[in-house]
Structures are given as structure tokens and as C-alpha cells.
Amino acid sequence: MTKLSLPSHSPLLTKNFVYGVATASFQIEGGIEHRLPCIWDTFCDTPNKIADNSNGHVACDHYNQWHNDIELIDSLGVDAYRLSISWPRVMTLSGELNPEGVKFYTNILDELNKRNIKAFVTLYHWDLPQHLEDKGGWLNRDTAYEFARYVKLISQAFGERVFSYATLNEPFCSAFLGYEVGIHAPGLIGKQYGKKAAHHLLLAHGLAMDVLKHTSPNTQNGIVLNFTPCYPLTQSPEDINAASYADDYLNQWYMKPIMDGQYPDIIKQLPSNQQPEIHPGDMDIISQSIDYLGINFYTRQVYKAHPSEIYEPLAPQGPLTDMGWEIYPQSFTDLLVTLNNTYTLPPVYITENGAAMPDTIKNGEVNDADRVNYYNSHLNAVHNATVQGVNIIGYFAWSLMDNFEWAEGYLKRFGIVYVDYKTQQRTIKASGQAYKHLIQSRK
């Protein structure tokens, strides 16, 4: 497949549906000599944590290539660019703004505005300053208040340049992958850590929302959550219960407090040492209204019952991406419709969707038909959800370009633009061309 095709009447083919591309600071910027160390620098320096033993010292050299990269974004015809702010780049050790870091981002935001590209700014995409981790990181309640202080200062500095703020990107990954199973920075392992970190992240979100309502009332302010729908292996009560528990533990744990002001009922089943430390008023702070919900989706997971662990994830079957993730677009529609039936949702942006594929560049071209197929099936899954009443107002491809894929290093490529890391040359893949043509075809 070389093109993306939607039903002619699709809401996704109207001009007011927002199309964008997304990146994250640590994954593309490099330029580490111009910022404070972050937890991912430390994690990359720890043996056997990154698959190819790489780091973010240079990455895509976006710190130096940013102007060319914005020209590249503009050439794709997108309406919006989702980027993240490196907290350790814009703040000093003493908790004041770093003018050099602020200027880096205001230059980018000004250039985007000049080109009429909406700036969707994520305020935290996992790169916690190391000096805050040294004080406990997200296990320390104070970090939530440090985050709110940073958000106040940076949002004041950016002024009217930003179209939309997301407080956090995927707090599940920060809390569960970073503080419970240890495959992301800071690499802590223990069930006694995960839910404590999660609560402080959600508190940080709520505190930041309160700040943004005062400092940036004209922007769309919300949060980005990732969802991996949980399916039972069989229709046995045990497997259904296992999938339901996994969904509450991994997905709804981050959604329900924001939407309903409470954690899922399974909180009552957690031992006391695994409980979050909830202070009076916390849930009110966490559950204040958001202007939009950002949803990141890649794959689903099938579960069966486990005698001691409650749920057991099964190895994915069927067609897989280069990450080993099952390609199952129906679960994207199922997820969106189920969330819409469960909660009173604000408008929804799909803030990340995409696939790592084993790309090769031949004669200056990357013919990633497998990725085009992925995008086609998943854009149609979004269309199917809108037909069933879900208010989805935009879609961001992950990612603009190949980049540092966290624990996988540079081995996995998610971009619709190919990056040669030796030369930093960018090459738009077939998927990037297909995305551009879809965007241009809107009425």
C-alpha cells in the first residue's frame, strides 16, 4: 500500500480535523552540554539498560537542526507539531529559568507560529532533572510542587505562543516502567514504588492544570495518557477477571482519578505498602476539568488468569511491528468507544499512534509499505470510533522522525522520516508522503 484512504464522508477529511506529527525532547534534541543532567542520562550510563548501549548526547541533533526540522514539518503540510519541553534545559539548579534554554524553545515556537503550525507543548515527557531524582524523584511529593513551579515559569515565558499544553505524557510509563519494573529511568524495581510515583505524577498534573488556568487561560490544557486495551484469552470468568484487573492496574489507574476523582476499586486489594499516599484534597486537585484528553495507542495485550499474580500477559500473536507489538486496529476502535461509554470525555486528540518497522533506505528512498498499512488501518479505526459518537478532533503521527527509542536505543525506527544517524540526513519515507497526501486531500 502506498496511500492512505478514508471514507469520503469521514470527519477526518474535514479541514477542522487537526493533523500533526510528534516528537519528544530527550529523543531528538542532543545538546546535553546546554542543559542539566536528567534521569535518562543517568539510565543510559548504567550498563545493560539500553539495548545498543547508546544515549541521548546527540540523538537527531535537533538542538542544532531545529530550523531545518521545522521546514521539514512544514513540507509535510501538517496543522500542528507536538513537541516536549526539556525541564532540565529550561530550569537551573536553583529553580529559576535558564534563559538559553527558554530561548531555544521560544525560537521554535515563533517559527511554528510564523508558519501557522499549531504548537502542542508537552511539559513533561520523562526527562526529570537528575537533582530532583536525587531527592526521591516521583516518590517525593515535593516533586509535584517543583513541577508546578516550573510550569508556572515556563508558561509565563512562552506567553501566547502555545496552542495547547499537555501536563504529562504517559504517566503510566514514568510510574510503572520507571519505578515498578525498572525498564525505564530511573530504573527502580518494586511494587511498593509504582503507585506512590503514579499518585505524585497525577498530583503534579492537577497542580499544573491549576497553574495553567491562570497563566495560560487561552490555551487548550489537558493530559496525554497511553492505553493498551486488555483482552481475556478465553471467556472464562477467571480470564475475564484477569483482563479487567490488568486494565484497572495499568490503564484506568491514570484515567479514573482525572475523570471521576477516585482510583479503581482494586486499590482496596493492594497491600498497605503498595498504596499511594493520598492527602486530603488530592483527588479534587487531580480531577479538575481538562480541556481535552490526549490518547496514545499502539497495540493491545491479551491476558489469562495467574494463581499468584492475578493476571499474566501472553506473547503477542499475529502480525507484529518491529517492537514485537501485535497489529490489531479493531482494539483502537474498541478502546475509544469503551472510554466514551465509561466516562464523560472532553474532546479527544490522538496524540500518538504509529509503528516501528524494519526500515531500509535504498537509492535514497524508504518504501515502508508496512507502516503505510498500519497508518491506514488505524486512521480508519479512528474514523470508525467517530462514527460511533466519539468526539475526536485531531491525530498525531508518532513520530516525525526516527529517534532515540528509550530502552531500545536507536535500533527501532518509528519515524515517517528516516534519519541517518551518521550524517543526520533526513529522508521522507513513503509513509510520510502518504500522510502528506492525505492531509492535502481534505475538503
Cα gap 142→377, rounded to integer Å: 43
Alpha-carbon span 327 to 237, nearest angstrom: 26
Placement of cell 501538517 in the chain: 78
Active site residue 170: yes
Under DSSP, the state recorded for 362 is: B
- Three-state secondary structure of 222-290: EEEEEECCEEECCCCHHHHHHHHHHHHHHHHHHHHHHHHCCCCHHHHHCCHHHCCCCCCCHHHHHCCCC
Catalytic-role residue among 111, 133, 146, 170: 170
Find all residues with CB under 8 Å of 387, minimum gap 6, and list them.
none
Q: Alpha carbon of 42 to those of 73, 75, 122, 210, 408: distances in Å? A: 31, 36, 22, 31, 16
Q: Which three cell numbers stand for residue 302?
A: 491479551
**Type of residue numbered 107:** N
Verify whether residue 352 is a known catalytic residue: yes
Chain length of the chain: 443
Of residues 388, 125, 127, 170, the one with CA closest to residue 295:
170
| Residues classed as catalytic | 170, 352
